[in-house]
Structure 1
Amino acid sequence: MTTVTLTATATCTAGAARVVSGTPEKPGLPQPVNRRMLVERAGFLTALVQQLASWLLASVWTDQHLDQLASGVDAEGRRLPSKGWMALRRLGWIPLVPAGLRVPDRVLRAAGEETARALRLALHRRAVTTAIVASWPADPRRRTTDDWVLLRRHLPAGTDNATIRNRTRQIASFAARHGRLPDGFTELETPPTIPAQVLLAAADRQLVRVERLDGNRARLWVQLPTVPAPASYRDWAWHDIIVPLPPTVAPTAKLCTPTLRPRDGTVRLDLPFETVVEAAPLAGHTRAIGADWGYNTLLTAVVAEPGPDGTVVCSGRALRFDAAGVSRKLDRLRAHRETLKTKINHLERLAAGRHSGLDPASTAKLDLLREEHQRVCARIRNLGRALAWSAARWLIDQAHTAGATVVYLEDLTCMEAPGSSKAWNRRLSSATRGVLADAVRHLGMREQVAVVTVPARGTSSGCPRCGNKLRHIQAPDNHKPANPWALCACGHSADRDFSAAQRIAARGLAGQHRTTRNRAGQASVRDTLDVPVHRAKTPTPRPAVRPAVSRDKQRPTPSRPRRRQASRVSGFTPAALATAGSRPAPTGAVQRPAGRTPQNPTVQVPGTTTSHTFSSNHLRTRHRVRWAVLGRGFHHHVNSTPLLQRAGPHGGETPGTHRIAQEN
């Protein structure tokens, strides 16, 4: 079996740091550096790289420079190297250092790498934009068949419909403002913003070094400026930084050069690490899992096997990962984000329309709204990422439990918002399906489970048995619009997502011999091959037949312990007992006045009536979600199908991996 190198990135936070007067080989006298000073010096380096890269990108943001980079050769006809900073140097594009600054050459490499990555990303957008402008139709909102044929002839291979629509809207907006089409890509788009980070991978050992101390810690040696504008090499010093490693980094993983990002008063490190794993085969699978993506029920999966005569046999048990509670939370956060953005835009328009700007109170309000908007955006990103990785972990665990060697997903890269409502478009555009697909691929590669995508068109509208069009109605057991039911004339009746999962598994197993990988290493089945799906016949468990119990009197009736009667005051609280004991007993019957007797929920006196609105002797317990598999450390309202332990070579849990906890 072939082996592949799996690369992942762990986000770490810098710990203790020291500055030395010498080099890593001869440190000299070390001095501790507190967190505030470390963040400040890392910010000096980040601002310097960002300034140099922004100036270089603005100087080469022309169609002539992009043509030269897209040609792939330099002025002498030699092929450009793969490293970005080296390719720009071959073309003669070098960052200009301001007068009075002393910047090491390795820092210039990091700035050149940032610029090269931004330019190479722009080349793809430029090719799509040029193709759309060259085949601009009479009505850009509705292209004819001839328009699509002409456009596909000019577009780069693999361009999806969502990209075409977004670029078409961008060009149409430019044409509406200026009355003409753009002359070039650089006129349509301005230079992108360089992120506040330092790509240390572009440097060598003269600027950065990484070594592992033990299984939980690593050491980073990096040169940082001690002042904002270093005038000589004496203003640069080596810093020894201890980096705690997260549990996801295996002790045997190889550490690579990280990316430095000062953020929120800390120094973040995006630390790549490599692990050698065995590559899962793409064909020859005898058991698979097909998963359908949804919004409320995030994943609906089914176990399938190849059947006789080219058919596929699926089990009747649906595997569900229901994240409706988290989806509602994300909807509320997105609505709050849009409200904040509307207020920010309103204040910005007011500031642009006034010559003196906003008053101090409005300026303070605008700053507060921007800060809150950033917090809400970060919350949405973190919650969506946690949801995607939790669902991916659950899906791979189900594959191991069922003994499946491949997971088939529908290819949703071309999925677009239907345009029915702003709320639904917002929910689809902010969905985590891209992060979920990447997480499933990463975990599947690490667990030797192949992850393959199949075409998504027709998976929910076609019948898995006969292939005819399905009729969607409300579910018989749930009349909410989010739970549709699929019916077919052939007698098929099942949940719509469950039917789509069967069809996805059938397409994957039928076309597994046509599975290919793209340049990024992602496996997919491009051809749509639908085969009939049959239901597996599982025996219905019946209770064991027990012999009839004889009711003849053969022995004396056994004595049973008498149940002790509870005391009348045993259920009262200590405060009620103390109050009752301190009060004298009533001597005679007294007529109660009109109205209900006032009740105290904390003090209950014997002989008085019980309140109808309070329960004084019941302990209030925390709400707990039952009959659900809860994500470990994730969210209390994620319901999923529990794992079934099966015996076999592929059954059971995989040792050394985190599992989803169960609570019944």
Structure 2
Amino acid sequence: MAGSWLTSTATCTAYRAVCGGKPDAPGVQAPVTGRMLAERVGWLADLVRGMADEVIVARWSDADLAELAGGVGPDGRRLPGNGWMALRRLGWGAVPPAGVVVSDRVRRIAEEEAARVLRLACHRRGTVAALLATWPADPSARTGEEWSALRAALPEGTDSATVRNRTRQITGYIGVHGRLPADLCELEGPPAVARQVSLAAADRQQVVVDRVDDSRVRVWSQLPVCAAPASYRDWGWHAFEVVLPAIVPAEVKVCSPTLRPRDGKVRVDLPWQTPSTRPPLDGHTRALGVDWGVNTLLTATVADLDQDGSVVVQGRPLRFDATGVSAKLVRLRRHREHLNTKVDQLTRLRDGRPAYAPAEAALTAKLVLLEAEHSAVCARIRHLNKALAWSAARWLVDHATAVGGTVIYVEDLATLEGRGGSRSLNRRLSGAVRGTVFTAIAHLAAKVDTAVVTVPARGTSSGCPRCGGAVKHVKTPQRSVAGYRWATCPCGLSMDRDHAAAQRIAARGLANQANTRRGRNGNTAIRTVTDTPVRHRTRRPTRTATIPPVRDRRKTVPTPKQTRPATVKTSRLLPLRRQVPAPADAPSGSAGQRPAGRTPQETNPSRPVSQVPHTVPTTAPRHPHRVRGAALGRGFHRHVHATPVTDQDGSASRMSGSPRIA
């Protein structure tokens, strides 16, 4: 198997820099503050974006996109893989603005950005051309012949979600113009380039990356010292250090970063590579089948492929229940929508005022405050979704490694959308993190040489994993009314709905390994499947389980002497007064000796005193909320209930080599 490189990205921040000298000969250097560094990186990003946008606008035509998609240059040679080299072979080079001097490496960066955007447009062009060539009379209800003609014309690997989205886009164009568009360039305008600087397209004359130590990296890059550099004297080498996250090993290879100026800071996306081997597509005997849910984010099961070709599953479900985090996300989304409604109302009030009566200062200040709060809530939702997705992926990969699984089968939910249900369900489906979870699972599994394969999702929850018949969804086994959580079947199946779906997914993957294919993006999938019934493994007694001795209840032998534990529980009742002796050294006084009994208690004691038994409260002490099955202080959220990672023999697993997700 050929080896490859697995690329990860560490997002860092550059807070300050120095200007002057060169990477190989540092001379007199002047300090540069973080805000000034962000301003200079912003000037370079604006130059790159302006040149790239000019190339895209000039080449935004169906003929030029067809030439780029053909992959052959004017000289008959195949276009290179690097985007900037392909554009130069076609004669589509970037040109700087008049009066601005930039180096050839800056032109490379702009051409690379333009090439990436145009190549993405070539993929959309093929899909739109197939839809326009086979456009039916009613696009919402295609016949079988129309679907067959469309699938024959579509590019290989086009999923149903892309077809549905492009169909809606064309339908919207027809509703406005009353006719079909001629091609993609008429359907949509030229896309814009992000405000960033991808230094990967340049060489050491523009960027140099040095490893200072295990936790720091120094980046040298040429930046302009003014907004419109008129000569090469307006460019200078800037050096800044970034601190790597703890998950980046010390011996990995660090590549050229991407600089993104934002909010007065410079975000540095620093790629790092580790050697990796692509796992095989078939030949697996132990796998994990994973079902995705709204509340229980992931439900998995361990399945084995027997020698006779049958699939054997274990009865123990593996759950990553993020109900608490999902509720938090729902509250944040409602708050975001409420803020968005307020912002829209205030914007209409501000824009609706006449020209001679400008908006009040209080209205403008309130609008700015609401927009800032809306941005903060959006960032909170985005960060919480990312943490949830990567934590779930880390948990799943750890389980696969602990049980010895070599492949993870996940249902393909790329075409799932919120429709036909309630408004709350549609909102939760649209805001789910399915794509991020799949990306995180594929990335983390590649580090431990575990394959991740998607299987068709149709029928995984509606079919029985044992007999293949239709199941009935009820609330609980005791309440056989329509519900969601439980699945029953006339064959005797009675288990959690997500657990049954996970077993069906694992059976589809293990029984159809020969149909596994790798796509152009590197993802592996099984398109056509044949369902195979599963059978449960016989539960074996654990090592700690002991068989209690059978008690001899015969009446013909003497009664055996019973052994009692060493510690005998005492009664909580107060002792009788006569059982408490009087103190021997009690002082004598005129009032006589105090009778035996409890010591009088002070109302407001000046020091801590021990209370007598009958004054001790008998109610259980109140403790803070403890999540069952979770250790506080570990993980990213205390309201996530996850099955602990255990080895094959049931002991706790210590994943020392696994990267930590903070």
- What TM-score do the two structures reach when normalised by structure 1? 0.86
Q: Secondary structure at the match of 2:24?
A: coil
Aligned length: 626
Percent identity among equivalent residues? Answer: 52
1:508-548 Cα deviation digits (max 9, x unpaired): 11122332322222222222021110111114576533486
1:176-231 Cα deviation digits (max 9, x unpaired): 12222223322221222321110111111111011212211111110111111212
Q: CA 1:496 to 1:559, structure 2 compared with 1: closer, same or farther past 3 Å?
A: closer
How far apart in 2 are the matches of 1:143 and 1:184? 21
What is the Cα deviation at residue 559 of structure 1?
A: 9.8
Q: CA 1:230 to 1:481, structure 2 compared with 1: closer, same or farther past 3 Å?
A: farther
Could you say which residue in structure 2 is the equivalent of 1:404? 405
Q: Secondary structure at the match of 1:577?
A: coil
Which letter maps to 1:292?
D
Q: Which moved more, 1:464-473 or 1:536-545?
A: 536-545
What is the Cα deviation at residue 651 of structure 1?
A: 9.3
What is the Cα deviation at residue 436 of structure 1?
A: 0.8
What is the Cα deviation at residue 383 of structure 1?
A: 0.8
What is the Cα deviation at residue 577 of structure 1?
A: 3.4
The answer as to whether partners of 1:410 and 1:456 remain within 8 angstroms in 2 is: yes
Q: CA 1:146 to 1:70, structure 2 compared with 1: closer, same or farther past 3 Å?
A: same
Q: CA 1:2 to 1:179, structure 2 compared with 1: closer, same or farther past 3 Å?
A: closer
Q: CA 1:338 to 1:29, structure 2 compared with 1: closer, same or farther past 3 Å?
A: same
What is the Cα deviation at residue 551 of structure 1?
A: 6.8
Q: CA 1:239 to 1:534, structure 2 compared with 1: closer, same or farther past 3 Å?
A: same
Alignment of 1:269-288 (within 5 A): 269-288=268-287
Q: CA 1:553 to 1:238, structure 2 compared with 1: closer, same or farther past 3 Å?
A: closer
Which letter maps to 2:423?
K
Q: CA 1:170 to 1:554, structure 2 compared with 1: closer, same or farther past 3 Å?
A: closer
Q: Gaps (5+ residues) in structure 2?
A: 553-558, 576-596
The answer as to whether partners of 1:397 and 1:659 remain within 8 angstroms in 2 is: no
Could you say which residue in structure 2 is the equivalent of 1:423? 424
Q: CA 1:482 to 1:18, structure 2 compared with 1: closer, same or farther past 3 Å?
A: farther
Q: Which moved more, 1:155-164 or 1:70-79?
A: 70-79
How far apart in 2 are the matches of 1:560 and 1:622? 28
Q: CA 1:4 to 1:87, structure 2 compared with 1: closer, same or farther past 3 Å?
A: closer
Q: Gaps (5+ residues) in structure 1?
A: 582-605
Alignment of 1:34-433 (within 5 A): 34-307=33-306, 309-348=308-347, 356=355, 359-360=359-360, 361-433=362-434
1:139-193 Cα deviation digits (max 9, x unpaired): 2222222221222222212211111111111111121122222233222212223
Alignment of 1:462-477 (within 5 A): 462-476=463-477
How far apart in 2 are the matches of 1:570 and 1:289? 67
What is the Cα deviation at residue 483 of structure 1?
A: 4.5
1:270-304 Cα deviation digits (max 9, x unpaired): 11111013433332222211111111111111111
Could you say which residue in structure 2 is the equivalent of 1:597? none
Alignment of 1:532-547 (within 5 A): 532-539=533-540, 543-546=546-549
How far apart in 1 are the matches of 2:241 and 2:656? 30
The answer as to whether partners of 1:463 and 1:499 remain within 8 angstroms in 2 is: yes
Q: CA 1:117 to 1:659, structure 2 compared with 1: closer, same or farther past 3 Å?
A: closer
Q: Which moved more, 1:366-375 or 1:467-476?
A: 366-375
Q: CA 1:130 to 1:231, structure 2 compared with 1: closer, same or farther past 3 Å?
A: same
Q: Secondary structure at the match of 2:390?
A: helix
Question: Which of 622, 641, 648 is the aligned partner of 1:639?
Answer: 641
1:245-281 Cα deviation digits (max 9, x unpaired): 1122211211111100112332111111110134333
What is the Cα deviation at residue 562 of structure 1?
A: 10
How far apart in 2 are the matches of 1:158 and 1:101? 44
Which letter maps to 1:374?
S
What is the Cα deviation at residue 379 of structure 1?
A: 1.6
Q: Which moved more, 1:557-566 or 1:260-269?
A: 557-566
How far apart in 2 are the matches of 1:633 and 1:79? 50
Which letter maps to 1:368?
L
RMSD: 3.5
The answer as to whether partners of 2:350 and 2:363 remain within 8 angstroms in 1 is: no
Matched, 1:18 2:46: no
Q: CA 1:414 to 1:569, structure 2 compared with 1: closer, same or farther past 3 Å?
A: farther
Q: CA 1:391 to 1:554, structure 2 compared with 1: closer, same or farther past 3 Å?
A: closer
Which letter maps to 1:544?
I
How far apart in 2 are the matches of 1:300 and 1:310? 24
How far apart in 2 are the matches of 1:234 and 1:634? 49
Q: Which moved more, 1:86-95 or 1:121-130?
A: 86-95
Which letter maps to 1:458?
G
Which letter maps to 2:383?
N
Q: Which moved more, 1:618-627 or 1:206-215?
A: 618-627
How far apart in 1 are the matches of 2:637 and 2:398? 18
How far apart in 2 are the matches of 1:568 and 1:545? 46
1:570-606 Cα deviation digits (max 9, x unpaired): 999xx9535999xxxxxxxxxxxxxxxxxxxxxxxx9
Could you say which residue in structure 2 is the equivalent of 1:599? none
Could you say which residue in structure 2 is the equivalent of 1:510? 511
- What TM-score do the two structures reach when normalised by structure 2? 0.86
Could you say which residue in structure 1 is the equivalent of 2:589? none
Could you say which residue in structure 2 is the equivalent of 1:443? 444
Q: Which moved more, 1:409-418 or 1:231-240?
A: 409-418
How far apart in 1 are the matches of 2:244 and 2:479? 47
How far apart in 2 are the matches of 1:653 and 1:580? 45
1:304-357 Cα deviation digits (max 9, x unpaired): 112354211111111100011111111222222233334444455566666639
Q: Secondary structure at the match of 1:209?
A: strand
Which letter maps to 2:640?
V
Q: Secondary structure at the match of 2:605?
A: helix
